[in-house]
Amino acid sequence: MRPTHATVAAPSSDIEATMESHPAQSVRTRSQHQRRRRIVQAAAALASRGGVEAMQMRTVAERAGVALGTLYRYFPSKMDLVVAVVGEELDLLESSIDRRPPGAVTPASRAVDVLMRATRGLMREPELADALIRSLIMADVETPFGDRMTGLLLRVSADGLTLEAASEEQIDLAGSLASVWVQELLEMLRGRRTYDQIQRRIETAATRLFADF
């Protein structure tokens, strides 16, 4: 999912709108946005080489070129930083899906396409994948991972269906498939599953769970 840790993304549409309506504020807004991205990318680069243990706040600050106090203003704890790195990974996955939507016929097959694409992206940097997923499982803070993966599966599998418009059952089914994927990915990271085994298991689960989509 991640092309490079050094890439700085273009400003979001919200930031661009702010720049147009408030020119004096735009420079500060853009600077803050870019500083935050540098911090997140520095944390991801460290985690990709040494797991979450390598994401020491002082080391992240040094790599990102910011003061330690500045880092803590953006991210009060390491877990907040982990959540931000996960959010960036999900942004990259969603951008990939938008550029190249799954072309499979059935909802289950489209869901499998998304999850296996995510698997390939994460496994390019297994240390980072392991660090992120283990941290999310043990997190005592709210993370966007589950809802965003569930929402993405609904959108791709059910012709643009949103979390707000989906039924409780549809949300539960998509969430269950996302949970199966996370568990299988962990097994792969531990060396207990091959890529082909994960794909077969995900296909089986998706076929059963999304049978009535």
Q: Residue 16 is encoded by which pair of tokens?
A: 């661009």
With b for 16 or more beta-carbon neighbours within 10 A and e for fewer, the 12-25 pattern comes to eeebeebeeeeeee
Mean pLDDT of the chain: 83
The Cα–Cα gap between 98 and 18 comes to 25
Least confident of 10-14, 36-40, 161-165, 183-187: 10-14
Q: Residue 150 is encoded by which pair of tokens?
A: 């569930």
Q: pLDDT tens for residues 7-57?
A: 333 334 444 444 445 555 566 688 889 999 999 999 989 988 887 788 899
The CATH code of domain 12-76 reads 1.10.10
pLDDT above 50 for 176: yes
pLDDT above 90 for 112: yes
The Cα–Cα gap between 48 and 197 comes to 24
Distances in whole angstroms, Cα of residue 177 to Cα of each of 7, 105, 147: 31, 18, 12
The Cα–Cα gap between 10 and 59 comes to 25
Span 78-213 CATH architecture: Orthogonal Bundle (1.10)
CATH 1.10.10 positions along the chain are: 12-76
SS3 content of the chain, % helix, strand, coil (to 5): 75, 0, 25
CATH 1.10.357.10 positions along the chain are: 78-213
Task: Give the pTM.
Answer: 0.75
pLDDT at 129: 81
When pLDDT is cut at 50, 70 and 90, the band that residue 92 belongs to is: confident
pLDDT above 50 for 107: yes
pLDDT above 60 for 86: yes
